[in-house]
Amino acid sequence: MSDFLSGFWSWYVAVGVVVSITACLVLLWVSGKVRVPATADNTTGHVWDGDLREMNNPLPRWWVWLFVITIVFAAIYLTLFPGLGSYEGRLGWSARAQHSAEMKAGAEATAPLYAKYAGMSFADMVREPQAMAIGERLFMNNCAQCHGSDARGSKGFPNLSDKDWLYGGTPELIVQTITQGRNGMMPPMAAAVGTPEDVKNVAHYVLSLSGSPSDSLRASLGKAKFGACAACHGMDGKGNTAMGAPNLTDDTWLHGWGEGAITAMVNNGKANRMPAQGKLLTEDQIKVVGAYVWGLSNRP
């Protein structure tokens, strides 16, 4: 990637732009000076479809002047604005600077709106209709793509409307999750568990932890092999929020239920990532959307 950021590419773009504009000027000049030898009927001799003949007339003046105006406009634009490689233009404008200015202006305009929520607890904000309306809109714009418009998630994307939390559901942890994101990873455990039969036995033991239908004989054999998984999920299978290890004793299945899904998870592992929103949302916005998420499972 560093090759594309070197000075060569800046010069490549600048030279390409200048050559293109120069070529247009040359083409315009040549078309005005050079005339194709005409026949007696003022045609070029080119014939299409049997009787469609090309006349040997000069370019219309209005077309020529439009061409000239376009070239002059391009020269003025490239002088004032970026376009010639790394040249920033006389006006110093950039899309990044304009975006930053607009974001700053938007933050200043909404600051009074968010100021009233700065000292409020999540419990108080949940009772504030306006705060929940703002939080819902922020959620729809930034979170619903993965967790769904109803926040119930889908396979691989956690349900935020229940009380099952991978990393903990306190206000502080929810804000931390939104701000910093999360990187969840379960490594492939087949080699640590043992043979394919051992993996199946462990799958049935995991099913038995939540009271799901399972083979009791396989489950009893898999209990000893589950020790390879206990480092994250605990010997009781109730998980570890500090690591994001799911609770295996409830009926919440993030990546699918049944022997096949659990076996695939043990054999292949899984990597999940929630992107950090700290650079997209302000601290005040994160607090409001965090309160909305917390309220989905904690409203009175």
Q: What are the pLDDT digits (tens) for 237-271?
A: 999 999 999 999 998 999 998 999 999 999 999 99
Amino acid at 184: G
Classify 215 as helix, strand or coil: coil
Phi and psi based region of residue 42 (left: phi greater than 0; alpha: psi -120 to 50; beta: remaining): left
In the predicted structure, residue 63 carries a pLDDT above the cut 60: yes
- Domains of the chain (ranges; CATH) run 2-80 (no CATH), 120-181+275-298 (1.10.760.10), 189-255+263-268 (1.10.760.10)
Task: For residue 185, give both structure tokens.
Answer: 């990873």
- 0.75 exceeded by the pTM? no
Confidence of residue 3 (pLDDT cuts 50, 70, 90): low
C-alpha to C-alpha distance for 78 and 76, rounded to whole angstroms: 6
Angle at 180 between CA 261 and CA 101, to 5 degrees: 130
Classify 141 as helix, strand or coil: helix
- pLDDT (0 to 100) of residue 51: 83
Contact yes or no for 93/262 (Cβ under 8 A): no
Backbone angles phi, psi at 55, to 5 degrees: -80, 155
C-alpha to C-alpha distance for 180 and 183, rounded to whole angstroms: 10
C-alpha to C-alpha distance for 146 and 266, rounded to whole angstroms: 24
Q: Tell me the per-residue pLDDT of 66-79, one tens digit each, with 9 for 90 and over.
A: 999 999 999 999 99
In the predicted structure, residue 279 carries a pLDDT above the cut 60: yes
